[in-house]
Copies of this chain bind each other. A is one copy, B any other.
Amino acid sequence: MAASAAAAYPPGRNIVIVGGVAGGMSCATRLRRLDETAHITVLEKGPYPSFANCGIPYALSGIISDESKLHVQTVPKLNSWFNLDVKVNHEVLSIDRAAKKIKYLSPATKEEEELPYDKLVLAQGADAFVPPIEGVGAKHVFKLTTIPDLQDIQAYIAERHVKKAAVIGAGFIGIEAAENLDLLGLDVTLYEFAPHVFPLIDGDLANVLHEEMKKNKMNLAMGAQVYKITPPDPEKGTHGMVYAKNAPDTEADLVIVAVGVRARTGLAKESGLEVGKTGMVVNDQMQTSDPDIYAVGDMVETEHVVTGARSQLALAGPANRQGRMAADHMCGKEVRYRGNVGTSVCKVFKQTAGLVGFSTRSLEKMGVPFEYVTVHPPDHAGYYPGSAPMTMKVAFSPADGKLLGAQLVGTRNVDKRIDVLATAMRAGMTIEDLEHLELAYSPPYGSAKDPVNMAGFAGGNLLRGDVEILHAADFAPAGREQLEDYFVVDVRSAEEFGRGHVKGALNLPIATLRETLDQVPKDKKVLVYCWVGYRGYLGYRVFKQLGYEVRNLDGGFKAVSEGGYEALVE
């Protein structure tokens, strides 16, 4: 019988969804919950309608012990629970928008068949991009985005007893693939064209990840352009090779290519739908240029909350929400996709790295004015066992303090702070708002001043003019400052100073700073620093109030040493 909601749409509609997984299946199941009468058909190109593609790299090493765990839903369950018609191994060939029907290849008959739609949803995802490298088509070169890819790689490793592998591309999938091959016991070389892994974050934070990877015996070839791959020859007993500009020739009998993805817009383009630079153009209701055709997930362009720019994004969370939203809109509900803040997280052995919004490098490239602070707070009260420091760089608008980006790396509970910052950024908070967040404190979990509060205090001080800072990056070879122009004061203890310090620094410990200030000339700019920035800030306040021109070194000597700024150290 007709339900109350039926007023908004005619009963018995034909709804066709092209592609399963996050976007497509969220849409299909939500649709059924809203409309018991619709005929809902899902056509999935691959053999599995709903799988956890984010888990695939972890199945390589056996962390996820059983591939079957990656199957979120099976066809029989989807069909029985949700009364869907899910067809796997069905590729859609064309859309006839005028007649409102699609054509697909029937795997049974090998014939082209037709299916009419009242509403069509494209959830085709994105393809792994395969760069034009000589030899990339060889049999020992794989991508790693689907369960069949995983099965192929596992079979290949088992058959060939592969011991040496290369991964090309150090984004999320590349990093995860490399780590899991390493955990499997393979000798792994990770190639990246950018100067560092996880290119979305800044190089100084990525440096922490490099150290972690090296500790785990991974070989890194950063800033390297692979131009040729040759296969192993079991008969001759020779290894496969990877050749790259800027990196030594490396033996690799298995190669995984993970240099990024491209939205699958071919079908849409052929159908005359509007396609942007990086993916499908959709409105905030997920409709394409044809209002009866929706597009969701990795194949669409959505707005970034920070910049307002639209681009493709390959993340499961947004895909799920978009699928759900398309279903809601089809059923007469008011919806508005709110854009993305670009929250991402990546495990690198014992380190966790994450990003919300943009790195300072990205902000610079986009020409967005920003300032940022670097803090190294412990994940929970230092006096409770197991506490570990993290590194947090938070960027904000110098005009109004609005959050623009946060990057984090550390071994414990980093994901918690990413999520707090993602929530804060979504709420449009400023760096000063972070001071006021009331976060859960009990010694096993946090500190009375949580890491996020600490970033707020440091950034708030900067925004209000209570401190002026310079960054290690400012003194890097391409930086805007020269170390020689400053009288550098290290306010740590003599013992800390002895373990390494900034070139040319004078050691005036904070405990006796007020009595030793006469050693600092008044006619020179002062750069003060400590280990993480706090004592440097105390020193800054003393110098400043006594009339010196002074800057505190953001993030202290730790930011210099863990960031890889060797040229500044002696």
Does B419 lie within 8 Å of A58, measured CB to CB? Answer: no
Quick check: B384 and A55 within 8 Å, CB to CB? yes
CB contact under 8 A between A69 and B383, given known A321-B436, A426-B437: yes
B316 x A448 contact (CB < 8 A): yes
Q: Does A343 contact B (CB under 8 A)?
A: yes
Smallest CB-CB separation from A355: which chain B residue? Answer: B440
Determine which of B440, B464, B538 lies in contact with A418 in the assembled complex, contact meaning CB atoms within 8 Å: B440
Name the one of B5, B34, B466, B547 contacting A1, with C-beta atoms under 8 angstroms: B547
In the bound complex, CA of A6 to CA of B541 (Å): 13
A416 CB within 8 Å of chain B: yes
Whether A267 sits at the interface, judged by CB under 8 Å, is no
**Cβ distance A550 to chain B, nearest Cβ, rounded Å:** 11
A542 on the B face (CB < 8 A): yes
A452 CB contacts on chain B under 8 angstroms: 419
Contacts of A441 in B (CB 8 A): 54, 315-317, 343, 345
Query: Residue of B at shortest CB range from A413?
Result: B416
Q: Give the contact stretch, choosing among A75-83, A87-95, A132-140, A275-283.
A: A75-83
From known contacts A80-B511, A511-B77, infer whether A419 and B439 are also in contact, taking CB-CB under 8 Å: yes
Per-residue CB contact flags for chain A residues 456-497 toward chain B (1 = under 8 Å, else 0) read 000000001010000000000000000000000000000000
Q: Of B64, B424, B438, which one neighbours A343 at CB under 8 angstroms?
A: B438
Give me the 6 closest cross-chain CB pairs, A-B, nearest first: A427-B427, A316-B448, A345-B440, A3-B545, A36-B545, A416-B416
A201 contacts chain B at the CB level, 8 A cutoff: no
Contact B63 A317 (CB under 8 A): no
Are A420 and B420 closer than 8 Å at their CB atoms? yes
A412 → chain B, closest Cβ, in Å?
A: 12
Nearest CB on B from A432, distance (A): 11
Name which of A1, A315, A317 has the most chain B CB atoms within 10 A of its CB. A317
A320 to chain B, nearest CB (A): 5
- Measured CB to CB, the nearest residue on chain B to A3 is B545
Judging by beta carbons under 8 Å apart, are A450 and B317 in contact?
yes
Interface residue count on the A side (C-beta < 8 Å):
97
B54 and A443 contact, CB distance less than 8 A: yes
**Residue A52 is within 8 A (CB to CB) of chain B in the complex:** yes
Of the candidates B341, B427, B442, which one forms a contact with A429 in the assembled complex, judged by CB atoms under 8 Å apart?
Answer: B427
For A424, list chain B residues within 8 Å (CB): 423, 427
Taking a contact as CB atoms under 8 Å apart, the answer to whether A347 and B448 are in contact is no
Residue of B nearest to A337 (CB): B436
CB pair B381–A52 under 8 Å, yes or no, is yes
A289 interface contact, C-beta 8 A:
no
A244 at the interface (CB under 8 A from B): no
Does the CB pair B437–A423 fall under 8 Å? yes
> With A54-B441, A427-B427, A546-B36 given, is the CB distance from A22 to B317 under 8 Å?
no
Judged by a CB distance under 8 angstroms, whether A146 is at the interface is no
| Bound Cα distance A444, B22 (Å) | 18
Residue with the highest number of chain B CB atoms closer than 10 Å, among A34, A55, A383, A512: A383
